A and B are shown apart, each in its own frame.
Chain A
Amino acid sequence: MNRFWFFFFSFAGVAAVASFAVAPSMGWWFPAPGPSLSPLGAQIDDLFYMILVITGVTFIGVMIALGYILWKFGSGRGERSTFTHGSHTLEVIWSIIPAGVLLFIALYQMDVWARFRVKSMFDQQAIAHPVAEVTARQFEWRIRYPAPGKTLQDTPQFDDLYTVNDLHVPVGKPAVIRLKSEDVLHSFYLPHLRIKQDAVPGLVIPVWFQCDKVGEFPLVCAELCGWGHYKMKGQLSAQREADFAKYLEELSTSQFDDGVPIAKAEEK
């Protein structure tokens, strides 16, 4: 029993470090193997890893110190510990070092944050021509595109194209969406691109991202929005420019379908 607390706290530390060590191979890490599919996402990953290293080193150091103390003084016999309460030097050290670390992180991340959130830092071409308006509602994503060759307007236009849950964007270039909510708070989350933005009723929030890989990726709601939150799942389809244009054309054709079979229409 003498070493109970030593083993107890050591186990916590070792288990935490071990779970981080095996996480990538167990699929508990970021979605999709490899780096983020967007340039901004890669920078966000770098920030994450930097903070993980800082906190990881600190955590391991603290756990080793804790283990050492528990091993040495925890047996209940022999040496007794000394209280160091009131050590001015120690207090200064443990205030200044974390403050310095926090200040460093705060300054270091500003650039990435600004690229993600500050509108004037967005690609100006992309912000002038948003790809689509995405309206979150319980429990789906409603999407409005401008007609092919036109620019998305703030209000619906007669030739706008509507679809649901399947957001198509051109690959390899910045895409801006106007994010709205029809009812409650939702959150537009593209895990593969590390993009997460709350949708707030009454606000139109521009969100930009760039997907560098052709394919379909999950779009999920990351804000508990009601009983059907779990089923509020969509899909981001990144397509080549030509395929995207073709997609919009097809959408236009089906949306303005007048139900007259082609052969019959040609007779007229």
Chain B
Amino acid sequence: MQRGFVVKVQFLAPIVALAALGLAGCGQPPAAKFARDEATEELIPEARDVVDRVLVENFGTPVQLVAWEKFPIDYGKPEPNVDSNDPHAQAGWRLKEGRNLYMTHCQHCHGVTGDGKGPTSRFLNPRPRDYRQGTFKFKSTQRAMKPSRKDLLHILEQGIPGTYMPSFVLLGEEKLGLIIDYVRWLSIRGNTEIRLATELAALSATKKDRDRAVNDGKKKADVVAEIMKSVNEELPGQVEDITTAMAEAWAGAELEESVVVPKIKRTPPTKESIEKGRVFFLSLNPKKKTECAECHGKLARGDGPNTEKYWPIPNSQPERKYEVAGLHDEWGFPQSPRNLTRGIYRGGRRPIDIFRRVHEGIPGTQMAGFATVLTHEEIWDLVNYVLSVPFEGQHSAYPGEVEGEQQTENKVANARD
């Protein structure tokens, strides 16, 4: 008897220990928080608290969202015919559901704050988008404008080939709509913070300004009081101006006239049209300064001379250069012009997508828009050339290219000259 009991205890001890561990778990994870922007961190603590307060009052926290009616966002009106326990019976249910979906599907790359700094982001190249600048690359609206809901839906459904942004098409349009409104809201929130911090920095509310004044012999308390006096005077007006401009910008993106629509139909991709496009691509026509090949390379492999230069960092005082050769985007990350021979088009492969990329350029990047240089007909020629590049050298790949090899070899030879 005694012996049997000993065996049992020896056997059960590790199981009991494991079960105890399992039951104890690892504790509650900390609640999600919106992170501060660097610009806010540079302000004196008193001014930083002001920014924090404005954000919490008007946008809340990830756990306790605040819906500011000023913005053109569908927060979700209470639905009349549902049970009072149903989440849809409460105002703001769309924003909450959008947040839940965002936290599940998007947050690990794009971050709780939408700053593109989620836990998986550091493994990725290109980096996930930081929404807070309000700059979105692939859209149908004019360059300086925000993207429309439809543009964001297109990206969520198609993903961005060539990057880690996958397609979420199977979530369905309704759920994607909730995510889109939450992302628009995050972008507005983040942009409000950055702009407000920039305005306060302009009022000398940074730590640097304070320390300089203190070094000049003033008392710290006086300096802070002086700064905070001007901050508190200016603040309401600043918040009003910033948010009004943003509300208008996002509402404006939904207007029909904001969308770039070609004046004429696409020219069929004939040999003539492709050849005309090639002339623009290589900037062989002296009247049309397109200079596509400067970045994209003569063979459209994304290896033009601009990718080998060392570029200055914008607004750096004194001027410094990037450590890595080649182009950089507005977020400061290295970025290569697209290699057009691969047939991977991040912003979409529809002719209209390429048309809009040429017409408006790509915001946040060095890709310029050519609306003032080329007519719509000429842009279609260029689009036809770009779309034909992956098929150069293939017999009769394009309807216009029946002549095939001879023609193409000449083309490549010309391009190499």
A interface with B by C-beta (< 8 Å): 1-2, 4, 138-140, 142, 155-158, 162, 164-166, 227-228, 231-235, 254-261, 264-265, 268
Contacts and interface: CB of A to CB of B under 8 A. Distances in A.
A235 B4 CA distance: 56
Closest 8 CB pairs of A and B: A259-B352, A1-B4, A258-B266, A164-B167, A140-B166, A257-B350, A258-B351, A260-B265
Interface stretch (B130-138, B220-228, B387-395): B387-395
A166 B352 CA distance: 23
Nearest to B383: A258
Contacts of B239: none
Given A165-B169, A259-B355, A4 B4 contact: yes
Contacts of B4: 1-2, 4
B58 interface: no
A162 B8 CA distance: 63
A235 B172 CA distance: 12
A1 B1 contact: yes
B59 interface: no
Given A158-B390, A258-B262, A258-B350, 16 more contacts: A1-B1, A4-B8, A139-B166, A142-B161, A156-B391, A158-B388, A164-B159, A164-B167, A232-B166, A258-B266, A258-B351, A259-B261, A259-B351, A259-B352, A260-B262, A260-B266
Contacts of B356: 259
B204 to A, nearest CB: 45
A124 to B, nearest CB: 27
Interface of B: 1, 4-5, 7-8, 105, 120, 123, 140, 158-159, 161, 164, 166-167, 169-170, 260-262, 264-266, 269, 343, 349-352, 355-356, 380, 387-388, 390-391, 394, 397-398
B349 A255 contact: yes
B357 to A, nearest CB: 12
A139 to B, nearest CB: 5
A139 B170 CA distance: 13
Nearest to A255: B350
A104 to B, nearest CB: 39
A235 B352 CA distance: 28
A164 B7 CA distance: 58
Among B7, B159, B260, chain A packs the most CB atoms within 10 A around the CB of B159
B1 to A, nearest CB: 6
Contacts of A234: 170
Contacts of B388: 158
A231 B8 contact: no
Given A164-B169, A165-B167, A235-B170, A258 B265 contact: yes
A84 B398 CA distance: 80
Contacts of A142: 161
B161 A260 contact: no
A254 B169 CA distance: 16
A1 B388 CA distance: 82
